[in-house]
Amino acid sequence: MKLLHICKGKIHRATVTQCDVNYVGSITVDQDLLDAADILDGELVHVWNVNNGERLETYAIPAERGSGIVCLNGAAALRCNAGDKVIIAAFCLTDEPVQRQVVLVDDDNKIVNRI
């Protein structure tokens, strides 16, 4: 059996609303966005900063539904600024087909389309 890392979910060009270097790690994301992208609480995610090219891995934690929050925490907070655009992606290791969930958001992190 051959396993591949496949992108299973992505939130495309979300706006960072906050950075909290004193929080103990992770990225906090509006639960509605996590659900739409099929990203679970505690799941490993890649975060790619469109503004400065920084790339990092952390884990997702849910923020209040409908809040629009995208907050980089801990050391990750030093790699971006509020207002930066980021791509948040989750992958899975599988030998089966995956239906990728891509979520497009507006400047307020509200869902505008799903691909």
pTM of the model: 0.96
Return d(Cα 72, Cα 61) in angstroms, integer.
10
59 as an active site residue: the answer is: yes
Return d(Cα 12, Cα 102) in angstroms, integer.
7
**Residue partners of 97: CB distance under 8 A and separation at least 6:** none
26 as an active site residue: the answer is: yes
Return d(Cα 115, Cα 110) in angstroms, integer.
15
Catalytic residue among 8, 9, 16, 26: 26
- Delineate the domains of the chain, giving CATH numbers in brackets: 4-93 (2.40.40.20)
Which residue, among 115, 111, 104, has the nearest Cα to 32 in the 3D structure? 111
pLDDT per residue as tens, the chain (115 positions): 899 999 999 999 999 999 999 998 799 999 999 999 999 999 999 999 999 999 999 999 999 999 999 999 999 999 999 999 999 999 999 999 999 999 999 999 999 999 9
Catalytic residue among 48, 59, 92, 100: 59
